[in-house]
Amino acid sequence: GENVEQHPSTLSVQEGDSAVIKCTYSDSASNYFPWYKQELGKRPQLIIDIRSNVGEKKDQRIAVTLNKTAKHFSLHITETQPEDSAVYFCAAALTNFGNEKLTFGTGTRLTIIP
């Protein structure tokens, strides 16, 4: 089955600087890679996702890059703000007719230092 590794497990960044979180996956057939943000005591919420036919996707201060050959993908947050502090999870899935099962990384706790 799929295995997703995520690094680092914790990350502290000065407000205004950039943060980068990296993930690798094992199953070359996986074609969908979402990133979820989870605030303390809350549910995971999708912040950005990318499909395997795209190398990069950007949404305002958030971007994701995918390298299919190396089987890794990364989350980039620029101009970080205090509200970016949370736990971030990457995930991978093989979606044919939809997405019923995600394999998650172990999470990165991001702390933005004011």
Partner 1 sequence: NAGVTQTPKFQVLKTGQSMTLQCAQDMNHEYMSWYRQDPGMGLRLIHYSVGAGITDQGEVPNGYNVSRSTTEDFPLRLLSAAPSQTSVYFCASSYADLGTGGDEQFFGPGTRLTVL
Secondary structure (3-state) at 83: helix
- 114 belongs to the binding site for partner 1 (CB under 8 A): no
Residue 39, H or E segment: none
Cα 92 to Cα 20: distance, rounded to the nearest angstrom: 18
Q: Smallest distance from the beta carbon of 11 to partner 1, in angstroms?
A: 15
What would the two tokens of residue 44 be?
Answer: 């995971």
Left, alpha or beta for 16 (phi > 0: left; psi -120 to 50: alpha)?
A: left
Nearer to partner 1, 32 or 68 (CB): 32
Nearer to partner 1, 23 or 112 (CB): 23
- 62 belongs to the binding site for partner 1 (CB under 8 A): no
Interacting residues toward partner 1 by CB under 8 A:
1, 6, 9, 31-32, 34, 42-46, 49, 51, 89, 93, 95-107
